Amino acid sequence: MVEALDDSYTTARDRTAHAHLRRGIAPHPAVRAHRNHAHAAEGVRTP
């Protein structure tokens, strides 16, 4: 249950980030740093 909620939250967050990128809005540096750190273990790099 917790994983499902986390997945939905992540999906919504990513959807918002993608919409911002399409509109030329850069993500907040702290958010970008957090995502890079969070995904580093998975080998995923965010722009």
Q: What is the mean pLDDT of residues 33-47?
A: 60
Is residue 46 domain-resident? no
User: In the predicted model, is pLDDT for residue 4 greater than 60?
Assistant: no
Quick one: the chain helix, strand, coil %, rounded to 5? 70, 0, 30
Quote the number of domains for the chain: 1
Please report whether residue 47 resides in a domain. Answer: no
- Domain membership flag for residue 45: no
17-24: which pairs have CB atoms within 8 A and are 24 or more residues apart?
A: 21/47
**pLDDT for the residue numbered 45:** 57
Query: What percentage of the chain has pLDDT greater than the value 90?
Result: 0
pLDDT reported for residue 36: 65
What's the domain range around 33? 2-40
What pLDDT, in 10s, does the model give residues 26-36? 667 766 666 66
Look at residue 7 and tell me whether its pLDDT is greater than 70: no
